[in-house]
Structure 1
Amino acid sequence: MFILQLAAILFASKIAGDMSVRLGQPAVLGKLLIGIVLGPTVLGIVTDTEILKEVSQIGVILLMFIAGLETDMDEFKRTGKAATFVGILGIVVPLSLGYVAGTAIGLTHIQAVFLGLLLSATSVSISVQVLKEMNQLQSKEGATILGAAVIDDILVIVSLAFLMSIAGSDVALGAVVLKKVLFFSVAIAAAWKIIPIVLRLFAPLRVDEAIISAGLIICFSFAYFAEATGVAAIIGAYIAGIGVSFTDYKKEIFHKVETISYSIFVPVFFTSIGVTVELSGVSEHIWLIVGLSILAIFTKLVGAAFGAKLAGFTWKPSLAIGAGMVSRGEVALIIAGIGLEAKLLTADLFAAIVVVVLITTLVTPPLLKILFKEKEANEHAA
């Protein structure tokens, strides 16, 4: 059954992506929307099964691995200050206003803090694809978005652990922080010293595509290690990609992994986001969804943009960076699931949050397209 669903996803996502481009929008927007059409909400051709989730997870991991391979490290280093400002203010503003909104709708103080933290999460996998389509992934703005996403992930996860320990969950804050330190220490050291050795060992093997297999082994190993230490798997994959980008095998791995990824796994990831959404009963919470969606988009856009402005960007590029941080994606859904289990979110609020996450994800591609077009127009005028 899944094989037929896979065929439907690949066919529909390519057609929808092409239509989106013809209408002047990023291809990823069409792929996201077609997921809703294929899913239980409309046609019911594709269902949210465990195998779909696993294939989708491979898709987002490969997408971030490719982003790491394409990262310009000189630009990445130069945008360190901006990434820090964007990452921090991109959390402070949603957290503060999210808390205010939570208390306004009758949540307890700890539930309101959790809502604010949930709205602070960022998943740049959608932004990465849009930036890639517009050839902006290696720009100063693109490097800032990617750096800020790493900082955002660390701060949100550590803050979540702190909150869960206060809420009485069995979470040791010290252990959580130690795991993060362990991951980044080991991952950076491995990316620097071990990745080149592994690739050199695989290069002379007399089997087909040994180097590509080695690249994928590195990617998935880093992603697993990241997830095991409480860091998002996509961050592990991204660091793995950066590590491989410093080797002589970068181009070979990049071209072949890109072919594998965009043929099967990445389209499944984008389409599955729409498939997972259940819109029945949404009308009962429509104003809550509208309010939280506006809050989610506004706070991340403004907070991250203000951080970029403080770091020296002009307003148009700052807003473009802010737009790149808007999508909450799978990171927010994971946090929402934790909140539901810990009784920090009610079932109704959880259902509303799922729709809000979808809205932030759908808004991000056209928002990026508009703001980066304006940025380019200003640069040409100058």
Structure 2
Amino acid sequence: MVELNIVNLLMVLLAAWLGGIFANRIGFPSILGELLIGIMLGPALFGILETSDALNILAEVGILFLMAYIGMEINFKDLGKASWAGFLAAIGGFVVPFALGYYTILFFDGTQLAGLFVGIAVGVTSLATKSRILVDLKLLDTRIAYVLMAGALISDTLALIIFAGIIGFVDAGSVDSIGLAWVAGKAILYFCLAVSIGIYIFPLLGKLLTKAKLTGRTLLFGILVIIVLGFSELAELAGLHGILGSFMAGLFIREGIFSRQVLKDVTGVFHDVSIGFLAPIFFVTAGFHVTLEIFQTDLALLILIIVGAVVGKILGTTLFYLPSGYGWREGFTIGTGMNGRGAVEIIIAGIGLQMGIISQEIFSILVFMAISTTLTVPIFLTWTTNWLKKRGELVKQAARNGYLILGANPLGLYIAKQLAEQSEVILIDYNKDLVNEAYAQGLKAIYGNGLREDAFEEADALSKNTFIALTGNSEINLLSAQLAYNSFYIPNRIVLVSPVEDGAGVNLLDHMDASSMFANKTDLVPWSYKISTHDFKESIEKVNKEITTRNWVKKNSNSKDILPILILDETGHKRPFHYKEIIRPKESVIYLQ
């Protein structure tokens, strides 16, 4: 019987928490802190913490949940944002370090299987590490961000496929043609079965649960746990490893069992349970298997693996990226960003150690390789992106475009018509007469509730870059902006705030990272009336020096009867006038009076 030592579990979790906080404070992912504190407090150094069978079981469940969460976070539609360039970066960033890792192990008299495991480990990249760094460096709207994310997804998926093949080969225990055919047949059968269940059974399950009104988060989480463990067991029965099964389960869970909001809630629970509880146990206890003796006995191999990982990733990405036509400098920058390793590499290395394919020394080398390469990412990526900026080669890439406007009232229609001259604009309103009026004016409009996901989905909210809430109710505006961000990830949110607000509304805008329309509290009713009765005048004022929209409003505050609605740049492009905008020299403000 396996008994759980609560004190030991408490100490491991406390160590993971402290290590994770320290790593985050200095700008690195939690996993590095968890590994380092496991090395420090484990047998390798101080020997304060120790592993146990119960901890190992929790750690194994932790990596299954973590891989499911990684699968749930992957959206294959994102790969299209960088398609060819992302594919080139992924292949170059995987194949070259894979080959270097493989042949380095063979050069030091290692087995071919060990070489394959090391090759996979140095070939993968860390999606989570890159996501955090891209946010910190404000690079999410650049082409390199999409290439990096696409490259990470492709390389990690490729690593898992190769890993599955190796596990199947080890399970077969022979190299004869019949044995290999049996391994391949079971793997193919598993993938066919998993894909069929994901594409055909999961959507039916979602509809049945919705029809039976079984949509509670606790119940759905329990169902998803069963799905993840079931897929993992199917993978094991097929001679593959459970992590591939949980990863596949996560991929298909994302694609359509539940509504977007329910999926977001359940994904959040998976995140908390895996990353907040179970996975840290795996990474801390992984540190227990590290030996510091490699710095004396295998220093040359350690250095070569680390150098091969760094040089192979950066050089491979740079060379393979050349056919994209975006230049070697951008390829080099992407290579520095893809250099970090993370969860997948440590999980694969841990399984290799557990199965006896790699030694404790090689496992230790891979852990230090993961730590050292990840430490280089923020430094190298900051330097290379600044280099591109100075050369004017840091390309912005708008994956989204167009406006979604809540409120087909006269003011909303007036602004929509002007924005629609250059971008797609879709309006949402719960008043059929206003929707019909929008159509009469040649605008696209959706009849629906601005607080419901189905209206946003019908308006293709996932493709929109900016959401503008222009109803006369500030609370509805704020709630709809929250929905636009939480469920549809619309990056720019602009909200009309009524003068009757007591200040809470503006505070909520800051919390939601949204902006106030017209850079001031505005009463919708009188302006809608003026527009509907044509009792207004449109004017334009050119700006000679840079000024914020808020200061422009203050400067013109003596003229209370004006409403700045748009900013017009030198090329004739119009954009909404709101609190977080800056008006540059030679741009103009379009306002009503």
TM (norm. structure 2) is: 0.54
* Distance across 1 between alignment mates of 2:94 and 2:50: 34
Match of 1:274 in 2: 287
* Distance across 1 between alignment mates of 2:94 and 2:217: 46
Assess, with a 3 A threshold, how the Cα gap between structure 1 residues 305 and 219 changes in structure 2: closer, same or farther: farther
Alignment of 1:318 with 2:335, yes or no, is yes
Alignment of 1:155 with 2:162, yes or no, is yes
String of CA shifts for 1:277-316, please: whole Å, max 9, x gaps.
2335752333333334433444355435544555566221
User: How far did residue 353 of structure 1 move?
Assistant: 0.6
User: How far did residue 238 of structure 1 move?
Assistant: 2.7
Letter in 2 for 1:198: L
Assess, with a 3 A threshold, how the Cα gap between structure 1 residues 134 and 87 changes in structure 2: closer, same or farther: closer
Match of 2:188 in 1: 181
Match of 1:241 in 2: 250
Instruction: Decide which structure has greater strand share.
Output: 2
- SS of residue matched to 1:122: helix
> Which entry has the higher C-alpha Rg, 1 or 2?
2
CA contact (8 A) 2:90 2:151 kept: no
Assess, with a 3 A threshold, how the Cα gap between structure 1 residues 224 and 206 changes in structure 2: closer, same or farther: same
* Distance across 2 between alignment mates of 1:93 and 1:148: 12
* Distance across 2 between alignment mates of 1:126 and 1:38: 27
Instruction: Report 1:131-280 matches (<5 A).
Output: 131-134=130-133, 139-158=146-165, 172-202=179-209, 204-205=213-214, 209-247=218-256, 248=259, 249-280=262-293
* Distance across 2 between alignment mates of 1:89 and 1:213: 40
User: How far did residue 374 of structure 1 move?
Assistant: 4.6
Instruction: Decide which structure has greater helix share.
Output: 1
String of CA shifts for 1:123-150, please: whole Å, max 9, x gaps.
8998243235346699442232122222
Match of 1:351 in 2: 360
* Distance across 2 between alignment mates of 1:236 and 1:139: 27
CA contact (8 A) 2:24 2:30 kept: yes
Q: How many residues align?
A: 370
* Distance across 1 between alignment mates of 2:335 and 2:325: 9
Match of 1:370 in 2: 379
CA contact (8 A) 1:13 1:31 kept: yes
Pick the aligned partner of 2:51 from 45, 48, 52: 48
String of CA shifts for 1:178-216, please: whole Å, max 9, x gaps.
222222222222222222333444553498711111122
Assess, with a 3 A threshold, how the Cα gap between structure 1 residues 69 and 377 changes in structure 2: closer, same or farther: farther
Same amino acid, percent of matched pairs? 22
Pick the aligned partner of 1:59 from 55, 59, 62: 62
CA contact (8 A) 1:122 1:325 kept: no
Which segments of 5 or more consecutive residues in structure 1 lack a partner in the other structure? none
Assess, with a 3 A threshold, how the Cα gap between structure 1 residues 333 and 380 changes in structure 2: closer, same or farther: same
String of CA shifts for 1:347-373, please: whole Å, max 9, x gaps.
xxx232121111122124323333444
Assess, with a 3 A threshold, how the Cα gap between structure 1 residues 51 and 379 changes in structure 2: closer, same or farther: farther
- SS of residue matched to 1:42: coil
String of CA shifts for 1:301-337, please: whole Å, max 9, x gaps.
5435544555566221233224358973231343355
- SS of residue matched to 1:41: coil
Match of 2:582 in 1: none
* Distance across 1 between alignment mates of 2:112 and 2:265: 46
CA contact (8 A) 2:89 2:334 kept: no
Assess, with a 3 A threshold, how the Cα gap between structure 1 residues 378 and 185 changes in structure 2: closer, same or farther: farther
Match of 2:75 in 1: 72
User: How far did residue 121 of structure 1 move?
Assistant: 1.3
Assess, with a 3 A threshold, how the Cα gap between structure 1 residues 122 and 288 changes in structure 2: closer, same or farther: closer
Assess, with a 3 A threshold, how the Cα gap between structure 1 residues 377 and 186 changes in structure 2: closer, same or farther: farther
Letter in 1 for 2:269: K
CA contact (8 A) 2:130 2:149 kept: yes
Moved more, 201-210 or 140-149: 201-210
Letter in 1 for 2:273: I
Alignment of 1:335 with 2:352, yes or no, is yes
- Higher RCO, 1 vs 2 (CA within 8 Å, ≥6 residues apart): 1
User: How far did residue 156 of structure 1 move?
Assistant: 4.7
* Distance across 2 between alignment mates of 1:222 and 1:308: 36
CA contact (8 A) 1:308 1:318 kept: no
Alignment of 1:130 with 2:144, yes or no, is no
* Distance across 2 between alignment mates of 1:251 and 1:72: 13
Assess, with a 3 A threshold, how the Cα gap between structure 1 residues 12 and 332 changes in structure 2: closer, same or farther: closer
CA contact (8 A) 1:293 1:360 kept: yes
Alignment of 1:32 with 2:35, yes or no, is yes
- SS of residue matched to 1:24: coil
Letter in 2 for 1:369: P
* Distance across 2 between alignment mates of 1:214 and 1:166: 35
Match of 1:283 in 2: 296
CA contact (8 A) 2:19 2:34 kept: yes
User: How far did residue 33 of structure 1 move?
Assistant: 0.8
CA contact (8 A) 2:67 2:246 kept: yes
String of CA shifts for 1:206-239, please: whole Å, max 9, x gaps.
9871111112222222233234334443333233
CA contact (8 A) 1:62 1:219 kept: yes
* Distance across 2 between alignment mates of 1:118 and 1:148: 15
* Distance across 2 between alignment mates of 1:207 and 1:158: 38
* Distance across 2 between alignment mates of 1:79 and 1:174: 36
* Distance across 1 between alignment mates of 2:73 and 2:344: 21
Letter in 2 for 1:239: M
User: What RMSD over aligned residues (CA atoms) do the two structures have, in Å?
Assistant: 3.7
Which segments of 5 or more consecutive residues in structure 2 lack a partner in the other structure? 395-593
Letter in 1 for 2:151: T
* Distance across 1 between alignment mates of 2:238 and 2:107: 35
- SS of residue matched to 2:96: helix
CA contact (8 A) 1:69 1:245 kept: yes
Alignment of 1:121 with 2:128, yes or no, is no
